[in-house]
Amino acid sequence: MHDLAGADPELRFSPFCWRTRFALAHKGLPVETIPWRFTETGAIAFSGQGRVPVIRDGDRVVFDSWSIAEYLEEICPTPALFGGPIGRAHALFINSWADAVLLGGIARFIVRDLLDVVDPKDQAYFRASREARFGTSLEQVQAGREDRLAAFRDLLPPIRLVLRKQAWLGGSTPSYADHIVAGTLMWPRCASRFSLLTEDDPVAVWFGRMLDQYGGLGRGAKTP
Ligand SMILES: N[C@@H](CCC(=O)N[C@@H](CS)C(=O)NCC(=O)O)C(=O)O
């Protein structure tokens, strides 16, 4: 698996790669991760596109975290990531919500911090591409973040309400829905020292339990 890394090759902070790491661990499938930097497009050219995660399983190459989850479910049905077509359809909603709402929300708190952890050879590309996306400097995007925390936390009631009724987004055990949201929260955890959640937030408590799943895969991940 080609996995986004920082200047420190042990620092892995891609929210999409973390979704895949959790899904592979859920299936009990061993994985060798290969650190990848933004400007190393040649290293994943074999996949026909320029983003990670990319996995190679024998002759099969699969990219895009959602497609990888579908592939893993096909080759290794148990333990399930989705629990059937309806579960998969619901997980697709979570994936879209995480991409459209959570990632964009989190980016505004950590995008300048990311510049400090990406590999020096990636820094110019990272700044230019993200500043073009936001239409302003990374410093300006991140400015005043303490004042914006309450609005970010107000995005999370859909998760809190579910966790009030059940231990995991997947019900009595974690499912790919848990991997999507936890993978997304691995991004700020592994790229920044800024805390988005209070310790007593039910989302933080659930995330703590996710960090301890799969032999403490998330808990053991390097942080800045
Ligand atoms: N929809 C893709 C998104 C993958 C993606 O955007 N990955 C980022 C790393 S977090 C990337 O490779 N970006 C390359 C770039 O920005 O040049 C997925 O779910 O895997």
Asked if the structure places residue 112 within a domain, the reply is yes
* 64 Cα: distance to centroid of ligand 1 (angstroms): 8
* 174 Cα: distance to centroid of ligand 1 (angstroms): 24
User: Do 21 and 3 meet the contact criterion of CB atoms below 8 Å apart?
Assistant: yes
Asked if the structure places residue 130 within a domain, the reply is yes
Q: Is the CB of 66 under 6 A from ligand 1?
A: yes
Residues near 187 by Cβ (< 8 Å), separated by ≥ 6?
13, 14, 15, 18, 103, 106, 110
Asked if the structure places residue 94 within a domain, the reply is yes
User: Do 126 and 176 meet the contact criterion of CB atoms below 8 Å apart?
Assistant: no
**For position 82, which CATH number holds?**
1.20.1050.10
Q: Is the bond preceding 79 in cis, omega lying within 30 degrees of 0?
A: yes
Residue of the CA atom closest to atom 14 of ligand 1: 51
pLDDT in tens, 16-32: 999 999 999 999 999 99
Q: Which atom of ligand 1 lies at the shortest distance from residue 95's CA?
A: 19
Q: Taking the chain, what is the end-to-end CA distance rounded to the nearest angstrom? A: 22
Asked if the structure places residue 224 within a domain, the reply is no
Asked if the structure places residue 41 within a domain, the reply is yes
Of 2, 14, 16, 97, best ligand 1 pocket probe by most atoms within 8 Å of the beta carbon? 16
pLDDT in tens, 113-169: 999 999 999 999 999 999 999 999 999 999 999 999 999 999 999 999 999 999 999
CA distance 159 to 109: 20
Order across the sheet with 54-57: list the strands.
Answer: 34-36, 2-4, 54-57, 60-63
Global model pTM greater than 0.95: yes
